[in-house]
Chain A
Amino acid sequence: MSLLTPELGLLFWMLVAFGAVVFVLVKFGFPIILSGVEKRKNYIDESLLIAKQAREELARVKADSQALIDQTRREQSEILAEAAKSRDMIIGGAKEKATEEAAKIMEAAREQIALEKEDAIRQIRREVATLSVEISEKVLREKLDRKNSQMDMIDRLLDEINIPKS
């Protein structure tokens, strides 16, 4: 029966021991552990959320940069095409101009040549005329030593001049 009757002394010690344990552990023990676990749990949740956001951000940035690259490529090809076009245009224009210029120069040269040629021909003619006059003078001087021959000569010359005129 003594097993079923609580002993006063043991009750006292139990109150002391259990009271101390409850006081210390409820005040300094379990709340700290539980809040520590809670803190860590929140930290992990937060970190996971942040990581997820970072991943999404990264994906978005990647997509953005891809789009940017694509656009840049497009622009680049456009610019290149434009450049080629304008180059062709410039070259074409230059060619035309050059041809024109060349034609002009040729024309000028041709004109110059023609002028020179005429000049030269004129000079030659003049020379020839002078020469022929001199020669004819000499010839005439020799031939006109005689009177009648002089007269013949004049007549013949006159005939010659008249014939082509008629």
Chain B
Amino acid sequence: MKRLLKIFPLLIVVLLMITTGLKANEPAAAEVASHPAEEAGTLNVKELILEHLGDTYEWHITTIGESHISIPLPVILISKTSGFHVFMSSAFHHGHESHNGFYIAHEGDFKGKIVEKDATGQEIRPLDFSLTKNAASLLISAILLIVIILLIARSYKRNPLEAKKGFVGMMEMFILSVYDGIIKPGVGKDYKKFAPYLLTVFFFIFTNNLLGLIPLFPGGANVTGNIAITFVLAVCTFLIVNITGTKEYFKEIFWPDVPMWLKVPIPIMPAIEVIGVFTKPFALMIRLFANILAGHSIVLGLVCLIFVTVSLGIPTNASMTVVSVIFTIFIDFVELLVAYIQAYVFTMLSAVFIGLSHVEAHHHSEVRS
């Protein structure tokens, strides 16, 4: 068995070499995530990576030769000129055709987005509520998460005193590690009130991160590496922190305990504190977004190494393939870790921010004395 495990990665490497050798003449046909070759023969790596990191209207699976295999997703548009439209993205024929006057822009400010032309012939964007790849992935992971957690909850409802086994037992350990390790020490006194929300955030981010690592259909979308997603998450944390914040918390912002000249006549410290209120969730948003984005970029870049080096001849290509596969496997493991760490960090910082907004007056005076 051990020997088999040793042989297995080697086998993959050899297989990859053979396939890349065979496809040396059509480099655009990448198995993992390819873009229809715009200029035959060369692969635009930047385009490919950016396309993956962004969002698309169809769920691209693979391209064999010249035919694209992808899952069409619903497009929902509200146009200022022609009103409400719902149709499948397959109507665009992979972006080559227009439908009802809508088409996918190939260049310009709205590159990759659905646009229409107004009366003057200018490209404008309709209100776009399309269920894009990211949105679809988001819904799938949301449903998955709800089903999993509700199944576990049902097991507790039925028999709370039984020691859980198997998957439920594992998830219990996981949930409790987050609960005891992040939420309790982070939030402090009121942790029970915020625990369900923080646990939800943790598992939401973690599920989406993991799904993003799976290269095939239900996963592969760069969901948590999209700024709209992290924006909503950060705004939720911001709202909870500032709505549930105590009087003492706001007093520390607008009238902090510093020498008078720092507050009057120019409110230096209050200004810094107010900026701090916004930078905290902003940091949350950017951190999660950038980490996941970077992870996806690195994996894609490493995979593209195989196709970029095709033009350098078979020996170089073969050796770079080996390097690429080894590096990709390594980075995938790192990404697995990052998936957990980023969920952990987001939850922990949210917990700490909530904890900080629940400071109490006597605590403050204790610190001073």
Contacts and interface: CB of A to CB of B under 8 A. Distances in A.
Contacts, number: 132
Nearest to B175: A33
A37 B231 contact: no
Given A3-B293, A21-B142, A36-B156, A8 B127 contact: yes
Interface string A17-46: 110111011101111111111011001000
Given A13-B131, A39-B160, A40-B161, A18 B233 contact: yes
A6 B200 contact: no
A31 B196 contact: yes
Nearest to A1: B109
B145 A25 contact: yes
Contacts of A2: 54, 111-112
A11 interface: yes
A22 B200 contact: yes
Q: How large is the interface on A (under 10, 10 to 19, 20 to 34, 35 or more residues)?
A: 35 or more
Residue of A11, A25, A31 contacting most chain B CB atoms (<10 Å): A25
Given A17-B138, A25-B200, A26-B196, A37 B176 contact: yes
Interface in B117-137: 127-132, 134-135
A33 B172 contact: yes
A36 B157 contact: yes
Contacts of A28: 150, 153
B103 interface: no
B158 to A, nearest CB: 9
Contacts of A8: 127-129
A20 B146 contact: yes
B206 interface: no
A5 to B, nearest CB: 7
Contact of A25 (B54, B111, B149): B149
Contacts of A5: 227
A7 interface: yes
B189 to A, nearest CB: 17
A4 interface: yes
Nearest to B140: A17
Contacts of A164: none
A5 B142 CA distance: 23
B229 interface: yes
Interface string B138-165: 1100100110011011001100111100
Interface of B: 50, 53-55, 76, 111-112, 127-132, 134-135, 138-139, 142, 145-146, 149-150, 152-153, 156-157, 160-163, 172, 175-176, 179, 192, 195-197, 199-200, 203-204, 226-229, 231-233, 236, 293
24 contacts: A3-B50, A3-B53, A3-B54, A3-B293, A5-B227, A10-B55, A13-B138, A14-B135, A14-B138, A18-B232, A24-B146, A25-B200, A26-B196, A28-B150, A29-B149, A29-B196, A31-B196, A32-B153, A32-B156, A34-B195, A35-B160, A36-B157, A37-B156, A40-B161
